[in-house]
Amino acid sequence: MRTENQIKSKINELSMQKKKMQTLLAALEENSPERASLLNQDARLDDMITMLEWVLFEPSGSYHM
């Protein structure tokens, strides 16, 4: 099991990668062949950050009403 600090550090690392990815995307033309690949990587980074945030800030309440 990871510690809270390790999870926060990983979120920060992934956020920095996402920021760099967005800078690269902004520099590319709309029809650039690399754009699709970078968009996929950007979406994957979003998913990973979201999962780590969910682990860090576990939701409360019931899923079944």
Q: With bands split at pLDDT 50, 70 and 90, how would you rate the model's confidence at 65? A: low
Q: State if pTM tops 0.75.
A: yes
For residue 53, is pLDDT > 70? yes
- The per-residue pLDDT for range 21-51, each reduced to its tens digit, is 999 999 988 888 899 899 999 999 999 999 9
> What is the per-residue pLDDT for 39?
93
Contacts of 61-64 with C-beta under 8 Å, sequence gap 24+, read none
Cβ atoms 1, 8 nearer than 8 A: no
Short-list 23, 4, 1, 14, CA closest to 48: 14
The arithmetic mean of pLDDT across residues 3-21, rounded, is 95
The arithmetic mean of pLDDT across residues 17-21, rounded, is 95
